[in-house]
Structure 1
Amino acid sequence: MTTLENDYLRVSIRPKGAELTSIVHKPTDIEHLWQADPSVWGWHAPNLFPVVGGCLNNQLLIDGKTYPIERHGFARQSLFDTTESTTNHAIFSLRSSEETRVHFPYTFEFQILYELDGPRLTITYRLVNEDEQPIFFSVGAHPAFAVPFESGENYEDYFIEFEQVEPLETHMLSSAGYFTGETKPVPTVEVNTSERRLALTKHLFDDDALVFKNLVARRVTIRSDKHNHALSVEYPAFPYLGVWAKPSAPFVCIEPWLGCADSEGEPKPIQQKEAIQQVEPGRVFEAAFWIDVS
């Protein structure tokens, strides 16, 4: 286990999946990350690579061949090497191998960087293309934040605040986890001309995740009606956002994505998948998001 710490935050990351397991706000001693109760949902903050969501038939179609791939990819189940570690900075690395090429036939190094700066944790995804051809991939985050923050509060005391006042429309998923092509408006409360709230309720996610593909907002904040303590996720490089929880579970996931699940229908070659990313031979892809606690 790797621990990063400053005056504001104490963060722990495990080698499996290079997954965050704890974000403690030291001034209040509040643990902000869901603690992975296996009877509810046994993850803290899985990193999604080389796919986000599910692929039709659990397969990737690459250069005319099919490769088995599980939902959200193999990185979250893989053991990363810790290549750098200081009190406020760590780099984790997953290199391609015979095992990864069974699922994803490219030569690469996938790095995840964590860095503390005051009350902010920066998480950076970096893909180094060590192949002789372009690599097509998706990448995303899936952190689950414990709600409520404090004892004596209720889940319904909390809401998600969007930085822009805009209509919210979720893209519907089938029971198998594929997009159906249907959309549905998400009811929110417009507090004023610059603030829109999505109330957290135990049944908000009865129909699976809320998936926003057209958001202008690049920052959302989890807040309570009872106090000013808040947690924000800022994701300038990620055009898609998932918001999810197990129905009635005491957490909410804020998920910035570069990629998404397949839509119902016929499988497409990887380069035609929705929101697919590409990095050329010898080049490096990089995208970061931030978690701020205040």
Structure 2
Amino acid sequence: MTTLENDFIRVAIRPKGAELTSIVHKPSGIEHLWQAEPTIWGWHAPNLYPVVGGCLNNVVLIDGKTYPMERHGFARQSVFEFTESTKNHAVFLLRSSEATKTHFPYEFDFQIIYELDEKQLTVTYRVVNRDEKTIYFSVGAHPAFAVPFSAEEAYEDYFLQFEQTEPLETHMLSANGFFTGEVKQVPTERSDTSGNRLRLTKHLFDQDALVFKNINSRSVVIRSTKHNHSVAVRFPEFPNLGLWAKPGAPFVCIEPWLGCADSEGDLKPIEQKEAIQHVATGKVFEASFSIVLT
């Protein structure tokens, strides 16, 4: 386990999946990350690569050949190398191997970089193309934040504050986790100070995740009606956003994505997948998001 720490935040990261397992606000002692209760949902903050969401038939189609691919990709199940660290900075590496090539036939380095700066934790995804052809992929985050922040509060005391005032339309998912083409308006409240508010309720995610494509807001803040302590997720480079919790569970996931699940229908080549990313031979792809405790 790797620990980063400053006067405001202490975080822990495990080698499996280079996954955050703890984010503590030191002045209050509050643990903000969901602690992966296995009977409810056994993850903290998985990193999603080389796909986001589910793939039709659990495969990807690359250069005319299908390869098995689990939901959200194999990175979250892989053990990363710990390559660099200081008190406030750590770098984890997943290098392509014979094992990864049975699922994703590319030569790559996938790095996850964690960096603390006062009240902010920045997470950077870096894909280095070591292949002789363009690599197509998706990447995203899936952090689960514990709600409520204290035992004296209820889940329903909390809401999500969006950066912009905009209609929120979720793209509906089938029972198998694929987009159906249906879009549904999500009821929100207008705020006097900034963007829309979405109340957290135990039934908000009864129909699976809320998925917003090409959303204008580039930050979402978890706030309480009882106090001013908050957790913000800022994602300036990620146009798609997922929100999810297991119905009735005391957490909420705020998930910036560069990519998304497949839609119902026929399997498409990876380069035609919705919101797919790419990086050319010898080039580097990089995108970052931040978690801010206030």
Alignment of 1:57-206 (within 5 A): 57-192=57-192, 194-206=194-206
**Letter of the aligned partner of 1:87 in structure 2?**
K
Deviation at 1:215, TM superposition (A): 1.1
Q: Which runs of 5+ in 1 are unaligned?
A: none
Runs of 4 or more consecutive aligned structure 1 residues displaced over 6 Å after TM superposition: none
Q: How does 1:219-230 map to 2 (within 5 A)?
A: 219-230=219-230
Deviations 1:218-254 (A, max 9, x none): 0110000000000000000001000000000000000
Partner deviation per Cα, 1:14-38 (whole Å, 9 max, x = no partner) = 0000000000000000000000000
Displacement, 1:194?
Answer: 3.0
- TM-score with structure 1 setting the length: 0.99
Cα deviation for residue 193 of structure 1 reads 6.6
What amino acid is the match of 2:96?
Answer: S
CA contact (8 A) 1:112 1:123 kept: yes
- Write the distance in 1 (CA, Å) between the matches of 2:62 and 2:196: 42
- Comparing 194-203 with 2-11, which one deviates more in the overlay? 194-203
Distance 2:45 2:193 in 1: 33
CA distance in structure 2 between the aligned counterparts of 1:280 and 1:293, rounded to whole angstroms: 36
Tell me the SS of whatever aligns to 1:99: helix
Cα offset, 1:150, TM superposition = 1.2
Deviation at 1:159, TM superposition (A): 0.1
Deviations 1:132-155 (A, max 9, x none): 000000000000000000121000
* Contact 2:166-2:195 within 8 A present in 1 as well: no
**Which 5+ residue runs of structure 2 have no aligned equivalent?**
none
- Is the partner of 2:20 in helix, strand or coil? strand
**1:257 paired to 2:260:** no
Q: In structure 1, what is the equivalent of residue 56 of structure 2? A: 56
CA distance in 2, matches of 1:169, 1:121: 29
Letter in 2 for 1:29: G
What amino acid does structure 1 have at the position aligned with 2:110? F
Amino acid at match of 1:74: F
Partner-residue secondary structure (3-state), 2:182? strand
CA apart distance, 1:95: 0.2
Q: TM-score, normalised by structure 2?
A: 0.99
- The structural deviation recorded for 1:192 is 2.4
Instruction: Specify the alignment match of 1:38 in structure 2.
Output: 38
Aligned partners of 1:78 and 1:214: how far apart in 2?
30
Shift of 1:255: 0.1
Q: What CA deviation, in whole Å up to 9, does each residue of 1:159-183 have, x standing for no partner?
A: 0000100000000000000000000
SS of 2:76 mapped into structure 1 = helix
What SS is found at the alignment partner of 1:262? coil
RMSD between aligned alpha carbons? 0.6
SS in 1 for 2:70: coil
CA contact under 8 A between 1:165 and 1:193: conserved in structure 2? no
Question: 1:195 Cα deviation (Å)?
Answer: 2.9
Q: Following the alignment from structure 2 to structure 1, what is the Cα–Cα distance between the partners of residues 195 and 77? A: 38
Q: What secondary structure does 1:12 align onto?
A: strand
Taking the aligned partners of 1:165 and 1:146, their CA distance within structure 2 comes to: 25
1:178-229: CA deviations, max 9, x gaps? 0000000000000227331000000000000000003110011000000000
